Amino acid sequence: MSDDSCMSTALYVGLCGYIGTPTEVTVRREVMDIKELTIKPASIYHGRRMMKCGSLREGFRFEFSDRDNMYWFINHKVITDLSEISVYHLSKHSIILMEDTDTPPGFVRLCALKLPMEEEKIVSSITPFNGGMYISNSKWRQIMMNWISGKKLHHNIVEHGPCTKGVADSTDIDFVLCFHCSYLPVSTFHWRKRCLLHKWPPKHVYDDILRNGCHFVPIGNAADENDLEWRLSFSHPEQKLVYAMNHTQFLCYGLLKIFLMEVVNRDIEEPFLCSYFVKTTMFWSIQTGHITWYPNNLLDCFWKCFKYILNCVHRGVMPNFFIPGNNMFASKLSTAKGARTLDCLLEQLYGYYEMGVSCLLESSTVRTILVIHPVMCNNPVRIEPRLGHFKCLADTDHTIQTEILYEAAVTKADLGTCMIFLRSILNILDSSITEYQRLTLQKDLAEVLIPIAFTTCKISKCSNKVFYRLDRLNIAFLKLAFRFSTVSD
């Protein structure tokens, strides 16, 4: 085995311990997926949907990872063509037409065609333009800002791009109120052809992306600050693409994020590069098929991805994976400060390029992983990549418990919402789910049964017979909850 191959394998094993084994990453994703599926009926009942995205949803648990939540109202229906209007109920749904003519690639305008009388949110966000009623992105951002400020659960609330950023329990959380479209726009046509040509992502992932459409977030092209422009967001497709990565690809993605945070952006207040550019780099690198993604080739994988980023910075162009005509550097380069920052970044990256792959040792995390490894001591030890996949049962059990208890799917809710949760959990339990998801649902079941029991026991205006039945039912609920819940319960 060559030195590079041996070092790559050592780094792979170390990253499995730092970022996560395949089992740990699977647990994180499956638990979050089943929690989202559990709350979906209750969310629809309240007229809105919520989707978690970002690094946490992808399976990372970095200390620097923030949380990203997307919200949208289910009665807002965005169409890409007037022929789609027949699919929806005009008296119940707000019909919004997506327009992408005379807008920069990756940006659209949203024209309100039909609004129910009670639709106050969109009406308050309307701006007349060319004889039509268009939705203002700044007014729509203000709705989320007012909602988060009114909850008083977060502090340091500020506007952050299309999001409202708040801090809760020392964690940054981004909230964005967006629109959902069940269809991918015509501008993604070349992406579809590319996927079929390169056969990545796999067909079942590709079909899932097509079924779930995209979102529109309230931010315009920074070059002209157009209040009527909305940026296309592919958060759900991107999540599915990350899920489709093998573990070497996922660890390389994580290694790039570590390098970006600990080396490239270290001590920089407003960095030019963000983790989204790293994700885009991974997508392009995987789809083009120019890299051999194996544990003993991890250093080469990282280096080729690094050179792709360097080339993009040199050209001043980072093409969006879904809409290549959208240069994601354009908004940053629209100001003189952004152009100067790019020049400084280019000089910095060339310095790392001259160092070669050893530039990774500028990262304290990578140094820690490699220094404690026998390879760095020149020991003739052959390391098997699969060593990184195994952990003791206690560690695996701790991971499962941490993920299940990390964030309760069922929060404080009224009796009606709890009953919806209960019905949802029971329906999912009857379906085909994994062992980790079943454990999650059992915990959620206990969290639902306990508030139902203590809420119904307060009912006093009923006959003795009904009260007795409720009492027996509540005792049965609590006994069942205690079977599945934690020892503290």
CATH (domain of 154): 3.30.460
* Residue 270 sits in the same domain as residue 230: no
Task: Please write the tens of the pLDDT for every residue from 347-381.
Answer: 999 999 999 999 999 999 999 887 655 554 455 55
* Residue 313 sits in the same domain as residue 223: no
Dist CA 247 CA 20 (whole Å): 10
Alpha helices in 157-223 (DSSP H): 189-198, 203-212
Dist CA 205 CA 236 (whole Å): 11
Mean pLDDT of 372-401: 64
Q: Which two tokens stand for residue 114?
A: 């039909």
Instruction: Provide the domain limits for residue 472.
Output: 409-484
**Is 41 within the bounds of a domain?**
yes
Mean pLDDT of 244-260: 97
CB of 105 closer than 8 Å to CB of 323: yes
Residue 383 has pLDDT above 70, yes or no: no
Res 456: pLDDT: 75
What is the largest distance, in Å, between two alpha-carbon atoms of the chain?
84
More confident: 406 or 229: 229
* Residue 293 sits in the same domain as residue 378: yes
**Of 193-202, 220-229, 473-482, which one has max mean pLDDT?**
193-202
* Residue 146 sits in the same domain as residue 208: yes
**Beta strands at 76-79 and 155-160: parallel, antiparallel or unpaired:** unpaired
Residue 396 has pLDDT above 60, yes or no: yes
* Residue 231 sits in the same domain as residue 260: no
**Is 153 within the bounds of a domain?**
yes
CA 110 and chain centroid, separation: 24
Q: How confident is the model at residue 387 (pLDDT cuts 50, 70, 90)?
A: low
**Is 52 within the bounds of a domain?**
no
Kindly tell me the sign of the dihedral angle through the C-alpha atoms of 211, 212, 217, 223: negative
* Residue 379 sits in the same domain as residue 419: no
**Is 146 within the bounds of a domain?**
yes
* Residue 110 sits in the same domain as residue 233: yes
**Is 272 within the bounds of a domain?**
yes
More confident: 3 or 214: 214
Res 410: pLDDT: 62
Residue that terminates a domain, selected from 349, 377, 407: 407
In percent, how much of the chain has pLDDT > 70? 91
Helix (H) or strand (E) holding 215: strand 214-217
* Residue 229 sits in the same domain as residue 260: no
Q: How confident is the model at residue 160 (pLDDT cuts 50, 70, 90)?
A: confident
Measured between its terminal Cα atoms, the distance across the chain in Å is 53
The answer to whether the peptide bond before residue 201 is cis (omega within 30 degrees of 0) is yes
The DSSP-derived string for 328-343 is TTHHHHTSHHHHHHHH
Q: How confident is the model at residue 1 (pLDDT cuts 50, 70, 90)?
A: very low
Kindly tell me the sign of the dihedral angle through the C-alpha atoms of 327, 332, 335, 337: negative
Task: Please write the tens of the pLDDT for every residue from 337-353.
Answer: 888 999 999 999 999 99
Closest CA to 429 of 417, 442, 448, 418: 442
Res 215: pLDDT: 97
How long a stretch of residues is the chain? 489
Mean pLDDT of 327-341: 87
Say which CATH number the domain at 260 has: 1.10.1410.40
Res 337: pLDDT: 86
Q: How confident is the model at residue 27 (pLDDT cuts 50, 70, 90)?
A: very high
**Is 343 within the bounds of a domain?**
yes
Q: Which of 155-164, 326-335, 425-434, 464-473 is predicted least confidently? A: 464-473
Amino acid at 190: H
pTM: 0.91
* Residue 383 sits in the same domain as residue 264: yes
Q: How confident is the model at residue 312 (pLDDT cuts 50, 70, 90)?
A: very high
CB of 58 closer than 8 Å to CB of 276: no
Q: Which of 265-269, 299-303, 390-394, 399-403 is predicted least confidently? A: 390-394
Mean pLDDT of 326-330: 93
Mean pLDDT of 425-430: 90
Residue 207 has pLDDT above 70, yes or no: yes
Dist CA 200 CA 269 (whole Å): 36
Res 388: pLDDT: 57
Res 380: pLDDT: 53
**Is 329 within the bounds of a domain?**
yes
Closest CA to 444 of 485, 478, 415: 485
Q: Any idea of the CA torsion for 82, 88, 92, 95, to the nearest 10 degrees?
A: -20
Dist CA 65 CA 78 (whole Å): 31
Helix (H) or strand (E) holding 134: strand 132-135
Q: What is the mean pLDDT of the chain?
A: 87
* Residue 229 sits in the same domain as residue 81: yes
Residue that terminates a domain, selected from 220, 238, 256: 238
Report the domain count for the chain. 3
Mean pLDDT of 236-241: 96
More confident: 49 or 151: 49
* Residue 339 sits in the same domain as residue 476: no
* Residue 340 sits in the same domain as residue 387: yes
- CB proximity list for 175: less than 8 A, separation 6 or greater: 69, 71, 144, 148, 163, 164, 165, 166
Q: Which of 202-206, 297-301, 369-373, 453-457 is predicted least confidently? A: 369-373
DSSP-derived letter for residue 347 is H
Dist CA 480 CA 3 (whole Å): 57
Residue 137 has pLDDT above 50, yes or no: yes
Res 133: pLDDT: 93
Res 72: pLDDT: 96
CB atoms within 10 A of CB 18: 17
In percent, how much of the chain has pLDDT > 90? 56
Residue that terminates a domain, selected from 238, 264, 298: 238
Dist CA 218 CA 247 (whole Å): 34
**Is 169 within the bounds of a domain?**
yes
Sort 157 into a burial class: Cβ within 10 Å, 0-12 / 13-18 / 19+: middle
